[in-house]
Structure 1
Amino acid sequence: MILVLIHPRNAGLPFLQWLPEEKGQLVAVTAVGTGIGEGFADAVSVADYCDDEAVLAAARKLIRRYRPRAVLALAEIDVERAALLRGEFGLAGLDTAAASAYRDKVLMKEYARAAGLRVPAFARVSEAADITAFMAARPGRAVVKPRGGSGSTGVHVLEDPGEAADLMLDMPYEVEEFIEGDLHHVDGFRVEGKPVAAVASRYGGAACLAHLTDAPLGSRSLDDTDPLHERLVEETWRLVEALPSPATVFVHAEFFVTGSGEIVLCEVAARIGGGPIPAMLRHILGIDPRELWARVEGGLPVDLDAVRKRSAIAPRAAFCGLPPQNGRVVRLPEAPRDVHDFVLNTFVGDDWSGDRYRRRKSADFVASWVVTDADPAALGAKLDATTELVSAGFGWELADTRGSA
């Protein structure tokens, strides 16, 4: 039996299709109103999935009743929860020390720096004066972000120390130097200490901060003959060794590559990347990485050699996601030709203005899709062309923001 923590963003994932051997042997904790699909023997819903105590209480109730052999967590918010539960009930997997290192952006950089990896200059933040002092000592832009955040929520890029006074520091934060460079991500997977696959990709434009200017977020995998691919993969495994990682782990690491070619850590998570990344990886690995991870975490057989072989010969892949605008959807696009996994996450009349717009995350896409091609130039051309088509297909009635702060 397996306990699955199902964030509302993961509603409807086909766990029974992925884990057919576990039919009737799955139990879940999720939010009220979230569909969990078939194959579950029991489920407990909580009113607020952001309430740690409520989720943990529900999970403990299910664990005591059914004694599952594993806890499966796919969302960032569930990483530390699952680790805590494993420790309490003696279950294998990522423990609390590892979960903290992968979630706390200060702690992860301390581990990485101690192992000789290049990290931005950084400091803990408890009040605005900490940011002001940091920027006074290091002139130039700085980035302020929640230590345990995800999806680029709560991230601020400051041009001047005086801007710190306007920030609402309602949780633990860190400040770090702004690194000029292209942001890349590496999605790596190892089992019992042996790497299975690692895919290095480059974000386009402003990367995970693109949504702050209503710009699309795109990413394309690097050709594995590109020397940068090998360097990024090597740096990822060095990072995994630097942190208190378990022998079996899936990581989503992000690195800046500067104009001089230096690789600088941005951050790393002990989970599969969000948004369209799983769909993109499926075309490279030959299996949905969430299915792969669910089976490994549950102790079920997986043909890892097939994954290794597929990732070595698969076509390159790219994804694009369009963020919401500050307004109401009045027209929807059609799926362009020659795209895969086209998903619309909105509808005509959907209102994204106001507080919903202000709280949007980097992966809150109204539409996303994947393109593939063996030729890197053709892959880029497909990504650019489809982005233009889908963007033009949307119609928005924008909110009137005159007079707003």
Structure 2
Amino acid sequence: MILVLISPRQAGLPFAQWLPEEAGRLVAVTAAGVWAGPGFTDVVTVADYTDDDAVLTAAREAGRRHRPRAVVALAEADVERAALLRREWGLPGLDTTAAAAYRDKVLMKQYARTAGMSVPAFAPVTDVRGITDFMADHPGRVVVKPRGGSGSTGVHVLDAPGQADALAGQVTHGAWEVEEFVEGALHHVDVFRVAGAAVAAVASRYTGAGCLTHWDDAPLGSRNLDPADPLHERLVAETWHLIDALPSPGTVCAHAEFFVTGEGRIVLCEVAARIGGGPIPAMLRHVLGTDPRELWARVECGLPVALDTVRDHARTAPRAAFCGIPPRRGRVLSLPEPPPGAQDFVLGTHVGDDWSEERYRLRKSGDFLATWVVTDPDPAALEGRLEATAELVGAGFGWADSDEHVPAAAGGGAR
């Protein structure tokens, strides 16, 4: 039996199609009301998927009934859960020591710094005093964020110590980190290693402020770098250095993020032991020739994968870019059409979808109303297509204040 942990953001993924050899032996744990997808023999649900104890209890109950031989987990929230279950059941895969290092932003930077890598000045904090003390020692802007957060939730950028007082109600309820603000372009590197051998490493550059662009209601994009670009080579080398600095197993996938400063220095932002979220898998599919989630699900289950084919495709792949439109405060009034030349266009909203004050405030960097991919062998042309399609899709959305009436006939466009 294969146990699959399915967070709501992975709802409906075709695991049965990706793992046909396991037909009749797939069991899912997911949230109540979430469609796990076709092909599961048993689906166990929990009322609140953010509740670690509830998810683990459900998984253990499923394990007693079905005796799993592998645990598959694609979401950040499930990295440590899956590692704990593997340890309890004696299964291969990322273990608890590695999972902790990849989840804890303080721990991962300690490993990286010990290995001689460039990291921002940082410190764990549990109260406002810890933040202000750090700012006294490190003048300038700082970033405060949860040590185990994801999707840029809970991230705050402070310009002055007095702004820390507003966080008093948050940093006292959990583990937080403060670090110096790094001026630089944010890049991500997605790597795959099986049995100690590298399969692929794809370096890409985010647009604008990277994963904080949603703070300005701006589109988020990313485009992969030319493998012949010296920066690509440097970023990939730094990522493998990071993988080796952490207590990583021989078989691992990772999504690392680095700042590249104006002077060309590469500084670690953070790293996760999972495939990148949002539209990144769609972009990587064009580079790798296969959906990276399918690739990794099969690796986790010990099923055959044509790794040499993936390697060859990654070396000769077209340049690709993704874009995502974040929500605005208000209600969706109208929907855009897919822009010309876009591939993998996904519309994740509907007319009347209400991003009210609280929902808008809690939005994540991966909350997109529409996503798509564009490809072009010419870097300048790719950049132009990315900007043009973002403008078209963004203009295609109509918005109303939350308390305004949205006409029933206002819909249209792609779904």
Measured in 1, the distance between the counterparts of 2:376 and 2:249 equals 35
Aligned match of 2:378 in 358, 362, 375?
375
Measured in 2, the distance between the counterparts of 1:48 and 1:399 equals 27
Measured in 1, the distance between the counterparts of 2:73 and 2:13 equals 13
Aligned match of 1:294 in 266, 281, 297?
297
Aligned match of 1:329 in 322, 332, 336?
332
Residue pairs, 1:327-366, within 5 angstroms:
327-366=330-369
Q: Does structure 1 retain, via aligned residues, the 8 Å contact 2:355–2:402?
A: no
Measured in 1, the distance between the counterparts of 2:208 and 2:349 equals 24
Residue ranges of structure 2 left out of the alignment (5+ in a row): 404-415
Aligned to 2:408: none
Residue pairs, 1:238-249, within 5 angstroms:
238-249=241-252
Task: Determine what percentage of the aligned residue pairs are the same residue.
Answer: 72
SS across alignment from 1:335? coil
Q: Does structure 1 retain, via aligned residues, the 8 Å contact 2:112–2:119?
A: yes
Q: Is the counterpart of residue 157 in structure 1 residue 157 in structure 2?
A: yes
- One-letter code of the match for 1:340? Q
Aligned match of 1:397 in 378, 381, 400?
400
Q: Does structure 2 retain, via aligned residues, the 8 Å contact 1:113–1:119?
A: yes
- One-letter code of the match for 2:83? A
- One-letter code of the match for 2:125? V
SS across alignment from 1:300? coil
Aligned match of 1:203 in 174, 182, 206?
206
**Deviation at 1:171?**
1.8
SS across alignment from 1:145? strand
The CA deviation string for residues 284-305 of structure 1, in whole angstroms up to 9 with x for no partner, is 0000000000000000000000
Measured in 1, the distance between the counterparts of 2:37 and 2:396 equals 32
Measured in 1, the distance between the counterparts of 2:372 and 2:53 equals 36
Residue pairs, 1:12-31, within 5 angstroms:
12-31=12-31
Measured in 1, the distance between the counterparts of 2:206 and 2:363 equals 19
Measured in 2, the distance between the counterparts of 1:388 and 1:211 equals 15
Residue pairs, 1:57-136, within 5 angstroms:
57-136=57-136
- One-letter code of the match for 1:157? V
Aligned match of 1:218 in 218, 221, 230?
221
SS across alignment from 1:346? coil
- One-letter code of the match for 2:333? V
**Deviation at 1:37?**
1.7
What TM-score, normalized by structure 2, do the two folds share?
A: 0.96
Measured in 2, the distance between the counterparts of 1:321 and 1:38 equals 27
- One-letter code of the match for 2:225? L
Aligned match of 1:388 in 384, 387, 391?
391
Measured in 1, the distance between the counterparts of 2:67 and 2:384 equals 51
- One-letter code of the match for 1:66? H
**Deviation at 1:313?**
0.4
Aligned to 1:176: 179
Measured in 1, the distance between the counterparts of 2:96 and 2:2 equals 19
Q: Does structure 2 retain, via aligned residues, the 8 Å contact 1:335–1:342?
A: yes
Measured in 1, the distance between the counterparts of 2:21 and 2:39 equals 10
- One-letter code of the match for 2:274? R
Q: Does structure 1 retain, via aligned residues, the 8 Å contact 2:26–2:40?
A: yes
**Deviation at 1:40?**
1.1
SS across alignment from 1:157? strand
Aligned length: 400
Aligned to 1:253: 256
Measured in 2, the distance between the counterparts of 1:293 and 1:220 equals 22
Measured in 2, the distance between the counterparts of 1:131 and 1:83 equals 32
What TM-score, normalized by structure 1, do the two folds share?
A: 0.98
After the TM superposition, which parts of structure 1 deviate over 4 Å for at least 4 consecutive aligned residues? none
Aligned to 2:192: 189
Measured in 2, the distance between the counterparts of 1:23 and 1:89 equals 22
**Deviation at 1:399?**
4.7
- One-letter code of the match for 2:165? A
RMSD over aligned CA atoms reads 0.7
The CA deviation string for residues 142-180 of structure 1, in whole angstroms up to 9 with x for no partner, is 000000000000000000011011112222100000000
